[in-house]
Structure 1
Amino acid sequence: MFVSSTELNPKMKSWRPGKMIGVAVAVVLVLLIGGNAYSSVEYGHVGLYKTFGKLDDQVLSPGIHLKIPFIQSIIQVNTQVTKSETDTSASSKDLQPVSTHVAVNYSVNKESAFNLMNNIGGRFDSVIINPAIQEIVKEVTARYPAEDLITRRDIVAGEISELLTKRLAKYDLIVNDINIVNFKFSDAFNQSIEAKQVAQQQALKAENDLKRVQIEAKQKVAQAQAEAESLKLKKQEVTPELVQLKQIEVQEKALDKWDGKLPSVTGGATPFIDLDSLASK
């Protein structure tokens, strides 16, 4: 006689398809609720609870945090140093058009992340930082002639940094560093700067050449003076006694070379012996 499995195990009668589906749905719900009961805040960020669209002022540190499933969420605010780059067009003090590329490194004050997100929102870079950079760069650029913007770049960057730091501090943003990446001027101004540099180099070369000529002239004068002084000293050394002594020396040399014969002459007088001519033999 055949006996079914349901007759052997009466409990299986209660496991109908509908009940099994219900159990599966319950398990899925438990998993969904459990998975939405917590969230993590990444390193370098802080978190804020958001309940039905409203932010909570409690600042969450990096790590895992519990939340009410489907009711609460945790938004993350980056507190690491972030770079914002902006291009600005302005005019210098001498009305030269200037395009400036500025890079600003900033960060969010952790303790004040709620105020920033609640008052400004997550797009504070485009809402607050970029417009502030645009305005302040134009203000500072207008204080300097175009050439000074090039030669005094560090000072210009310092003034921009000071003003920008004060401006962004109102929104709990910290300016860590600012760099003027590039100043770009008109082609006409660049050509005038190049021509001025060439003229300065030529003037410097001419000045150096003049100094060299002056030094050489002074050297020649000094050499001539030294020679004149030397000749003067030599003349002072020539005394009458020295001249007479030299003459005696010449005569002695002449006598040493004389062979004892007198030259033949037609006159009756005895010729004078030319000692100088004998000395030269």
Structure 2
Amino acid sequence: MDLDNVVKMKFDSGGKAPRVLVPLVAGLILFFVAFNSIVIIQAGTRGIVLQLGAVQPLVLHEGFHFKIPFVQQIIPIDVRVGKAQSDQTASSKDLQTVNTTVAVNFHLVPEEVNKLYQNVGLAYEDRIVAPAIGEAVKAVTAQYTAEELISKRSEVSAKVKETLAAKLSTYFMALDEINITEFKFSAEYNNAIEQKQIAEQNALKARLDLQRIEVEAQQAIERAKAEAESLRLQKQEVTPELIELRKIEAQMKAIEKWDGKLPTVTGGANPFIDINKMK
């Protein structure tokens, strides 16, 4: 094989390689572009559209969507109900320290997630929700005494919910439910409450005992009055005729009981005489 034939073969093989690679590269580029033009928004989420870094007014709903490759970026954000729990320390109206645990259910307003992302970002729970819970609890707790926080718990919870809902709405979030698990006070206050309850129980017992004594005394007075009235009426009805009648009734009862035998011994002013010995 001479040199001219070798050079000719090399040029022929070199010409075929570009003709094969060009369509392949073009196909890969088209596939990559097409792949980056498609976005699927999952259930329970929304898509925030960034175009060259700028947040767009359009919010993508669940399902299949197109985007401009290399120009638009889609940020998925969860709009399902979420839970945040926070431990808070506040002061009551009577300056008692109150520790409470608050659990909150909330969700992002789906149509306004782009505004939330633009103003707050994705760390909205740490930046907005937790501080808002603390502010709402402190603002409402200061309106009630420690005792009222317990006795009016449902009212306190409703006010905290109203206050917190207003705060979250300014950041495009909606409050679903709030649950104040418990109010905890200092050991000194708990001891004072216990002593107060004991004192109230003792005072109540004393009042009940006094009422019982008063009732019993009144009952005794009424019984005495009734007995006195009965005696008075009986005294008014006693006459000489009634006395004679009672004597006759007594004699009749004695006769009914007599067995017909005379007594063997009689007595009186004279000495006792045995009648059997005189026979």
1:42-191 residue pairs with structure 2 within 5 A?
42-191=42-191
Return closer, same or farther for 1:80/1:243 CA change in 2, 3 Å cut-off. Answer: same
Runs of at least 5 residues in structure 1 that lack an aligned partner in the other structure: 1-12, 268-281
Amino acid at match of 1:210: L
Q: Work out the CA distance in 1 between the residues paired with 2:190 and 2:93.
A: 16
The alpha-carbon distance between structure 1 residues 242 and 19, as it changes in their structure 2 partners (threshold 3 A), is farther
Q: Give ranges in structure 2 of 5+ residues lacking alignment.
A: 1-12, 271-279
1:107–1:254 Cα change, 3 Å: closer
CA distance in 1, matches of 2:135, 2:269: 123
Q: Report the alpha carbon displacement of residue 264 of structure 1 after superposing the two structures with TM.
A: 8.8
SS of 2:244's partner is helix
User: Shift of the alpha carbon at 1:104?
Assistant: 2.2
Give the TM-score taking structure 2 as reference length: 0.75
Secondary structure in 2 matching 1:69:
coil
Matched, 1:39 2:39: yes
From the superposition, tell whether residues 251 and 137 of structure 1 become closer, same or farther in structure 2 (CA, over 3 Å).
closer
Q: 1:169-222: CA deviations, max 9, x gaps?
A: 222222222222222221111111122122222222222233233333333333
Residues 228 and 35 of structure 1, relative CA distance in 2, 3 Å threshold: farther
Separation in structure 1 between the aligned mates of residue 19 and residue 70 of structure 2, nearest angstrom: 26
- Label 1:216 to 1:266 Cα distance change in 2 as closer, same or farther (>3 A): closer
Cα distance in structure 2, aligned partners of 1:220 and 1:266: 50
- SS of the residue aligned with 2:58? strand
User: In the comparison of the two structures, how many residue pairs are matched?
Assistant: 255
Deviations 1:233-277 (A, max 9, x none): 33333332211222234455667858799x69999xxxxxxxxxx
Q: Partners in 2 of 1:215 and 1:266 — Cα distance?
A: 58
CA distance in 1 between counterparts of 2:158 and 2:210 reads: 41
Asked if 1:230 corresponds to 2:237, the answer is no
Matched AA of 1:189: Y
The match for 2:275 is: none
Q: How far apart, in 1, do the equivalents of 2:40 and 2:83 lie? A: 25
Query: Which piece of structure 1 moves more, 154-163 or 118-127?
Result: 154-163
Q: Give the TM-score normalised by structure 1.
A: 0.75
Check if 1:204 corresponds to 2:216.
Answer: no
Alignment-derived partner of residue 276 in structure 1: none
Instruction: Evaluate the alpha carbon distance shift between residue 237 and residue 32 of structure 1 in structure 2; reply closer, same or farther with a 3 A threshold.
Output: farther
